[in-house]
Chain A
Protein backbone atom coordinates (compact mmCIF):
# COMPACT_ATOMS: atom_id res chain seq x y z
CA UNK A 1 0.00 0.00 0.00
CA UNK A 2 0.91 3.66 -0.10
CA UNK A 3 3.04 5.15 2.65
CA UNK A 4 4.77 8.35 3.71
CA UNK A 5 7.94 8.57 5.78
CA UNK A 6 9.18 11.85 7.16
CA UNK A 7 12.10 12.66 9.41
CA UNK A 8 11.46 12.40 13.09
CA UNK A 9 11.72 15.45 15.23
CA UNK A 10 11.96 17.55 17.06
CA UNK A 11 14.11 19.73 14.86
CA UNK A 12 15.61 22.74 16.64
CA UNK A 13 17.19 25.58 14.68
CA UNK A 14 18.24 29.14 15.29
CA UNK A 15 16.41 31.98 13.59
CA UNK A 16 17.62 32.61 10.00
CA UNK A 17 18.98 29.06 9.65
CA UNK A 18 18.29 26.90 6.58
CA UNK A 19 15.58 24.28 7.03
CA UNK A 20 15.15 20.90 5.40
CA UNK A 21 12.52 18.38 6.49
CA UNK A 22 12.79 15.14 4.56
CA UNK A 23 9.80 13.28 3.18
CA UNK A 24 9.83 10.13 1.05
CA UNK A 25 6.90 8.10 -0.19
CA UNK A 26 5.88 4.83 -1.77
CA UNK A 27 2.89 4.75 -4.06
CA UNK A 28 1.63 3.20 -7.25
CA UNK A 29 1.06 5.57 -10.10
CA UNK A 30 1.33 9.32 -9.68
CA UNK A 31 0.07 10.61 -6.35
CA UNK A 32 -0.37 14.22 -5.34
CA UNK A 33 1.91 15.40 -2.55
CA UNK A 34 1.22 17.94 0.17
CA UNK A 35 2.81 19.67 3.13
CA UNK A 36 0.44 20.71 5.91
CA UNK A 37 1.39 22.77 8.97
CA UNK A 38 -0.17 22.68 12.43
CA UNK A 39 0.38 25.63 14.77
CA UNK A 40 -0.11 25.07 18.50
CA UNK A 41 -3.73 24.47 19.44
CA UNK A 42 -4.99 24.60 15.86
CA UNK A 43 -6.02 22.25 13.08
CA UNK A 44 -3.84 21.52 10.08
CA UNK A 45 -3.66 23.94 7.19
CA UNK A 46 -2.23 23.47 3.73
CA UNK A 47 1.26 24.90 3.29
CA UNK A 48 1.95 23.81 -0.30
CA UNK A 49 1.27 21.04 -2.76
CA UNK A 50 2.48 19.48 -6.03
CA UNK A 51 0.33 17.33 -8.24
CA UNK A 52 2.78 15.94 -10.79
CA UNK A 53 6.42 15.03 -11.14
CA UNK A 54 8.92 17.94 -11.20
CA UNK A 55 6.28 20.39 -9.94
CA UNK A 56 7.51 22.78 -7.26
CA UNK A 57 5.09 23.92 -4.59
CA UNK A 58 5.87 27.13 -2.73
CA UNK A 59 4.28 29.33 -0.09
CA UNK A 60 5.48 31.72 2.65
CA UNK A 61 9.14 31.12 1.68
CA UNK A 62 8.78 27.33 1.89
CA UNK A 63 9.42 25.15 -1.16
CA UNK A 64 9.20 21.46 -2.05
CA UNK A 65 9.84 19.73 -5.37
CA UNK A 66 8.04 16.53 -6.41
CA UNK A 67 10.88 14.20 -7.41
CA UNK A 68 9.63 10.94 -8.86
CA UNK A 69 13.10 9.47 -9.41
CA UNK A 70 13.88 9.63 -5.69
CA UNK A 71 10.23 9.42 -4.51
CA UNK A 72 10.78 12.48 -2.36
CA UNK A 73 9.11 15.77 -1.49
CA UNK A 74 11.50 17.48 0.91
CA UNK A 75 10.42 20.76 2.52
CA UNK A 76 12.95 23.61 2.50
CA UNK A 77 13.14 27.21 3.65
CA UNK A 78 16.13 29.46 3.30
CA UNK A 79 15.76 31.49 6.50
CA UNK A 80 13.40 30.35 9.24
CA UNK A 81 11.65 32.60 11.72
CA UNK A 82 10.42 32.00 15.25
CA UNK A 83 6.87 32.11 13.86
CA UNK A 84 7.63 28.99 11.77
CA UNK A 85 7.66 26.89 14.95
CA UNK A 86 4.96 24.28 14.36
CA UNK A 87 4.42 20.64 13.41
CA UNK A 88 4.82 19.85 9.70
CA UNK A 89 3.07 16.93 8.02
CA UNK A 90 3.90 15.43 4.65
CA UNK A 91 0.90 13.82 2.95
CA UNK A 92 0.15 11.77 -0.13
CA UNK A 93 -3.13 11.41 -1.99
CA UNK A 94 -3.01 8.32 -4.14
CA UNK A 95 -4.91 6.62 -6.90
CA UNK A 96 -7.08 4.85 -4.34
CA UNK A 97 -8.52 8.29 -3.46
CA UNK A 98 -7.28 8.11 0.11
CA UNK A 99 -4.93 10.60 1.72
CA UNK A 100 -2.14 9.38 3.98
CA UNK A 101 -0.27 11.61 6.42
CA UNK A 102 3.24 11.17 7.77
CA UNK A 103 3.76 11.18 11.52
CA UNK A 104 4.71 14.85 11.64
CA UNK A 105 7.93 16.72 12.41
CA UNK A 106 7.96 19.23 15.24
CA UNK A 107 10.07 22.31 14.47
CA UNK A 108 11.38 24.67 17.17
CA UNK A 109 13.01 27.93 16.12
CA UNK A 110 15.12 29.70 18.73
CA UNK A 111 15.42 33.50 18.65
Chain B
Protein backbone atom coordinates (compact mmCIF):
# COMPACT_ATOMS: atom_id res chain seq x y z
CA UNK B 1 0.00 0.00 0.00
CA UNK B 2 1.53 3.29 -1.11
CA UNK B 3 -1.22 5.36 0.55
CA UNK B 4 -1.41 8.83 -1.01
CA UNK B 5 1.17 9.69 -3.66
CA UNK B 6 1.86 13.08 -5.21
CA UNK B 7 3.89 14.17 -8.20
CA UNK B 8 6.07 16.10 -8.64
CA UNK B 9 7.87 16.61 -5.31
CA UNK B 10 9.36 19.94 -6.36
CA UNK B 11 8.53 22.39 -9.14
CA UNK B 12 9.72 25.84 -10.17
CA UNK B 13 7.51 27.88 -12.50
CA UNK B 14 7.69 31.30 -14.02
CA UNK B 15 4.77 33.69 -13.60
CA UNK B 16 2.07 32.88 -16.12
CA UNK B 17 3.06 29.26 -16.71
CA UNK B 18 0.60 26.47 -16.10
CA UNK B 19 1.00 23.10 -14.46
CA UNK B 20 -0.96 20.20 -13.01
CA UNK B 21 -0.23 18.55 -9.67
CA UNK B 22 -1.14 14.89 -9.60
CA UNK B 23 -2.48 12.91 -6.65
CA UNK B 24 -3.48 9.27 -6.35
CA UNK B 25 -4.63 7.08 -3.48
CA UNK B 26 -4.87 3.31 -3.26
CA UNK B 27 -7.07 3.02 -0.16
CA UNK B 28 -10.39 2.98 -2.04
CA UNK B 29 -11.36 6.24 -0.37
CA UNK B 30 -14.37 8.20 -1.58
CA UNK B 31 -13.16 11.68 -0.58
CA UNK B 32 -10.08 13.61 -1.64
CA UNK B 33 -8.73 17.07 -0.81
CA UNK B 34 -6.17 19.64 -1.88
CA UNK B 35 -4.55 21.93 0.70
CA UNK B 36 -1.87 24.55 0.62
CA UNK B 37 0.49 25.15 3.54
CA UNK B 38 2.06 28.54 4.06
CA UNK B 39 4.27 29.66 6.95
CA UNK B 40 2.18 30.89 9.87
CA UNK B 41 -1.08 30.03 8.09
CA UNK B 42 -1.49 26.34 8.78
CA UNK B 43 -3.31 24.32 6.13
CA UNK B 44 -6.00 25.88 4.00
CA UNK B 45 -8.41 23.85 1.91
CA UNK B 46 -8.36 24.69 -1.80
CA UNK B 47 -10.85 22.19 -3.23
CA UNK B 48 -12.27 18.86 -2.24
CA UNK B 49 -14.15 15.99 -3.83
CA UNK B 50 -16.60 14.25 -1.54
CA UNK B 51 -17.08 11.43 -4.03
CA UNK B 52 -16.19 10.50 -7.60
CA UNK B 53 -17.82 12.95 -9.99
CA UNK B 54 -18.20 15.82 -7.50
CA UNK B 55 -15.93 18.72 -6.59
CA UNK B 56 -16.46 21.69 -4.29
CA UNK B 57 -14.60 24.85 -3.41
CA UNK B 58 -12.76 25.19 -0.15
CA UNK B 59 -11.44 28.26 1.59
CA UNK B 60 -8.99 29.48 -1.10
CA UNK B 61 -10.07 28.24 -4.57
CA UNK B 62 -9.17 31.29 -6.68
CA UNK B 63 -6.53 30.59 -9.32
CA UNK B 64 -6.99 26.80 -9.19
CA UNK B 65 -9.04 24.14 -10.91
CA UNK B 66 -9.44 20.48 -10.03
CA UNK B 67 -10.43 17.26 -11.74
CA UNK B 68 -11.55 14.06 -10.07
CA UNK B 69 -10.39 11.79 -12.85
CA UNK B 70 -11.65 8.60 -11.22
CA UNK B 71 -11.98 7.27 -7.70
CA UNK B 72 -8.19 7.06 -7.26
CA UNK B 73 -6.99 10.30 -8.81
CA UNK B 74 -7.56 13.98 -8.03
CA UNK B 75 -5.51 16.60 -9.87
CA UNK B 76 -4.96 20.31 -9.16
CA UNK B 77 -4.28 22.71 -12.02
CA UNK B 78 -2.77 26.17 -11.96
CA UNK B 79 -3.74 27.82 -15.25
CA UNK B 80 -1.57 30.94 -14.91
CA UNK B 81 0.80 30.71 -11.96
CA UNK B 82 1.41 33.74 -9.74
CA UNK B 83 4.10 34.31 -7.06
CA UNK B 84 1.31 34.24 -4.43
CA UNK B 85 0.84 30.56 -5.28
CA UNK B 86 4.32 29.69 -4.01
CA UNK B 87 3.52 27.17 -1.32
CA UNK B 88 3.63 23.52 -0.30
CA UNK B 89 0.64 21.62 -1.64
CA UNK B 90 -0.76 18.56 0.08
CA UNK B 91 -3.26 16.08 -1.22
CA UNK B 92 -5.28 14.04 1.27
CA UNK B 93 -7.96 11.39 1.21
CA UNK B 94 -10.52 9.98 3.62
CA UNK B 95 -13.05 7.19 3.51
CA UNK B 96 -15.86 9.75 3.42
CA UNK B 97 -16.58 13.26 4.63
CA UNK B 98 -18.17 12.14 7.88
CA UNK B 99 -16.86 13.94 10.91
CA UNK B 100 -15.07 10.98 12.45
CA UNK B 101 -12.95 10.13 9.42
CA UNK B 102 -9.17 10.30 9.45
CA UNK B 103 -7.49 12.14 6.60
CA UNK B 104 -4.39 10.55 5.04
CA UNK B 105 -1.89 12.94 3.54
CA UNK B 106 0.60 12.68 0.72
CA UNK B 107 4.22 13.86 1.09
CA UNK B 108 3.57 17.24 -0.54
CA UNK B 109 4.69 19.22 -3.58
CA UNK B 110 6.88 22.25 -2.99
CA UNK B 111 6.05 24.83 -5.66
CA UNK B 112 7.97 28.04 -6.30
CA UNK B 113 6.63 30.64 -8.71
CA UNK B 114 9.19 33.22 -9.81
Q: 20 interchain pairs (CB within 8 A)?
A: A32-B99, A32-B100, A41-B107, A44-B105, A45-B104, A46-B102, A46-B103, A49-B102, A51-B100, A89-B42, A89-B43, A93-B99, A94-B99, A97-B50, A99-B103, A101-B42, A101-B44, A102-B42, A103-B41, A103-B42
Minimal Cβ-Cβ distance residue in A for B4: A43
Asked if residues B97 and A97 are in contact (CB atoms below 8 Å), the reply is yes
Q: How many residues of B contact A (CB 8 A)?
A: 23
User: Which residues on the B side are within 8 Å of A103 (C-beta)?
Assistant: 40-42
CB <8 Å contact, B105 and A43: yes
Would A104 and B42 count as touching, CB distance under 8 A? yes
* Nearest A residue to B105, CB-CB: A43
Please give, as numbers and ranges, the residues of chain A lying within 8 Å of B108 by CB-CB distance: 42-43
Asked if B41 and A44 sit within 8 Å, CB to CB, the answer is no
Bound-state Cα–Cα, A95 to B99, Å: 7
14 additional A-B pairs beyond A43-B4, A103-B40, beta carbons within 8 Å, are A42-B107, A43-B92, A43-B107, A43-B108, A44-B92, A46-B102, A89-B43, A93-B100, A93-B101, A98-B58, A99-B45, A99-B103, A101-B44, A103-B41
